[in-house]
Amino acid sequence: MQRTHGFTLLEVLLVVAIVGIVLGIGAVGLRALSDPVGKAASAVEGTFKQTRAKAMSTTSAYRISLASADTLQADYAYTCDDTTGWVRDPHFDLTLDNGVRITSPTALGPIVCFDSQGIANANPTVEVQGSDGKTAAIEVLVGGAVEVH
């Protein structure tokens, strides 16, 4: 009489390997959730890059302004020197969450403007800080590149 219940060693090892792979993938995906400052820095970097791309694709000037301690807003006009023709573009507005704040610059208003060629009119650094004191700096280079430090 042959017994057919139970698992072989090979079946157990296969299940353990599959569970390990799934947990490993899940841990990598959840790591970003444990770093709100890194997530905010990436979001600010992405906002700058997308706004620059929009300025080049529409041959308009796009500027990013500090609207509050946790909000960036985008506007567009014909040139960066325009004083009255700025129109808000809510597609690029960014509000930081998880208690992350923009600590620099502190003055509300324009931070940087990208012209129709994607060139920035300044070389600003935006600093974000989490409730735990951790900080990150996002630098916009005059050529239009964006770096996170």
Please report the pLDDT score of residue 28 as a whole number: 73
pLDDT tens readout for residues 122-140: 999 999 999 999 999 999 9
Phi, psi angle pair for 7, to nearest 5°: -120, 150
Please report the pLDDT score of residue 1 as a whole number: 56
Q: How many domains does the chain have?
A: 1
Mean pLDDT of the chain: 91
Residue 20 in any domain: the answer is: no
Residue 30 in any domain: the answer is: no
Residue 4 in any domain: the answer is: no
Cα–Cα distances in angstroms (integers) from residue 26 to residues 21, 32, 46, in the given order: 9, 11, 24
Q: Is the pLDDT of residue 25 over 90?
A: no
Residues 6 or more apart whose CB falls under 8 angstroms from that of 109 comprise 65, 66
Q: Which domain holds residue 62?
A: 36-148
Q: Exposure pattern of 78-98 as b/e (b: 16+ CB <10 Å)?
A: eebeeeeebeebeebebebee
Evaluate whether 98 touches 1 at the Cβ level (below 8 Å). no
- In 3-state terms, what secondary structure has residue 113? strand
Residue 111 in any domain: the answer is: yes
Q: What is the CATH number of the domain that holds 143?
A: 3.55.40.10
Residue 92 in any domain: the answer is: yes
In which band, very low, low, confident or very high, does the pLDDT at 27 lie, cut at 50, 70 and 90? Answer: confident
Q: Is the pLDDT of residue 113 over 60?
A: yes
Cα–Cα distances in angstroms (integers) from residue 134 to residues 30, 38, 39, 71, 103, in the given order: 19, 9, 12, 19, 12
Residue 14 in any domain: the answer is: no
Least trusted range by pLDDT, from 6-10, 50-54, 67-71, 122-126: 6-10
Please report the pLDDT score of residue 32 as a whole number: 58
Please report the pLDDT score of residue 95 as a whole number: 96
Please report the pLDDT score of residue 98 as a whole number: 84
Phi, psi angle pair for 29, to nearest 5°: -70, -35
Evaluate whether 40 touches 100 at the Cβ level (below 8 Å). yes
Residue 98 in any domain: the answer is: yes
pLDDT tens readout for residues 29-55: 666 567 899 999 999 999 999 999 999
Residue 84 in any domain: the answer is: yes
pLDDT tens readout for residues 85-102: 999 999 999 999 889 999
